Amino acid sequence: MSRIKLIRFAENANRPDIVEPGKDTYQQLGGRWHEAFFQNNHPITLEVGCGKGEYTVGLAERYPERNFLGLDIKGDRIWRGSTRAEALGLTNVGFVRTRAHDLLTHFAPGELAEIWITFPDPRPRDRDIKRRLTSPRFLDLYQQALQPGGLIHLKTDNEGLFDYTLEVLHERAGASILAHTKDLYATPELLPHAEDIQTTFERKYRTLDVPIKYVQFTLR
């Protein structure tokens, strides 16, 4: 492991906005995020697979009346998001270092108001279908963690993942697709729903003229 990563991991261990293995708060905040972490009762939005936290921090900066959490397994990535949030003086954002399939270890039923999935690994191989963040396995987790009517958003450059997601939603009882497009920036009426905050991936794909796909949906 590089010296830089070791330094960042040491800093993560002392940052109150990062919840990770080894800390007393790890696996102890489910059902208590409002009172024990944010110390307010504002709605909580989770970004699953937040990477460097660009989207999580961007949302927190835009909506100070809401709380935001970024979930990712990579401590180095989370450090970047935490560092930016600290530089901006944000107090309505935090990060959880864990795997997406452990979601219910950290959140009680109905604790989340909204979920974002931005540019996840499309997992194109058939043997990896269950690892796609919009597979039925993960939708089951989101449904439990979300409050009734809670929104889920997917942004992706990958047409295969986008089509797969729509297919899964059409087949799922109780799922409602509220908005979708294969070219978000050619559908300006959807931009307010999709948030025009751009991650490094999104800027890259836009530079390459790759259309950004977007779908917004709810689960019963």
Q: Strands of the chain (E only): list them.
A: 18-19, 44-48, 67-72, 93-97, 112-118, 146-156, 176-181, 213-218
Residue 30's contacts (CB-CB under 8 Å, 6 or more residues apart) are 104, 105, 106, 107, 108, 111
Which segments are annotated as binding site for S-adenosyl-L-methionine? 47, 72, 121
Between CA 100 and CA 165 the distance in angstroms is 17
Rg (CA), the chain: 17
Tokens of 119: 């540019």
> With contact defined as beta carbons under 8 Å apart, do 157 and 119 qualify?
yes
Which segments are annotated as binding site? 47, 72, 121, 157, 199-202
Which segments are annotated as binding site for substrate? 157, 199-202
Angle (nearest 5°) at CA 133 between 42 and 184: 75
What three-state secondary structure class fits 59?
helix
102 carries an active-site annotation = no
Catalytic residue among 102, 121, 126, 140: 121
Show which residues are catalytic.
121
